[in-house]
Amino acid sequence: MYFAALLARTEDGWEASDTELDDVETLSDLADLAREASPDEDTVLVLIEQEAGWFGVVRVDGEEDPRIYVSDAAAAARSSYGEILLTDELLGREPGDDVPDLDALDLDGTEDGEPDDEDADDGPSAASGESVPHGPVGDAQVLEDLGVTEKELRSMTEDAVSEIAEALGASEVLETVR
């Protein structure tokens, strides 16, 4: 089960709204959705969690590029919402790295994917690309100036969204949309 909420910082404190991510296909779409929540270009946090799996924080400050933290990239990669956050840049890859290079493919004439004797014990082929790392990726200091240290963020697991909201003083407003 997923939960996603927007927390927008205003002059009066934090305002929360739940958000539907069904129409969000890219990080750019998500950033635009966050910017719409704060017409004054204040800080907006998009908090996403998959129960007992992973959580993500996207911070949008006005027109600046979004800052992203994902607690477990491998778990998030198996999620349609997680895939939105796991950009090539966040994973340290060049755009298009996940597309096999035709020059790297072993086109030696074996049929039906049969390995030739030399490659039988070599494990995954070079054409399979890099895997997504297990564990956290992104900007672990994304909430540092808001009172959540990198160490605290990295130690959060089960109910991270609630823990973040509590640290920000936004628990009550988050609970209204949960």
Is pLDDT of 117 > 90? no
CA distances from 34 to 56, 115, 121, 162 (A): 14, 48, 48, 19
**pLDDT, tens digit (0-9, with 9 covering 90-100), for 119-151:** 444 443 333 345 788 899 999 999 999 999 999
Neighbours of 163 (CB within 10 A): 18
Is pLDDT of 56 > 90? yes
Asked if residues 28 and 39 have their Cβ atoms less than 8 Å apart, the reply is no
Place 75 in a pLDDT band, splitting at 50, 70 and 90.
very high
Place 68 in a pLDDT band, splitting at 50, 70 and 90.
very high
Predicted pLDDT of residue 130 = 56
Three-class DSSP category at 30: helix
Smallest Cα–Cα separation from 87: which of 77, 101, 100? 77
pTM of the predicted structure, to 2 decimals? 0.79
Residue 175, both tokens:
């609970």
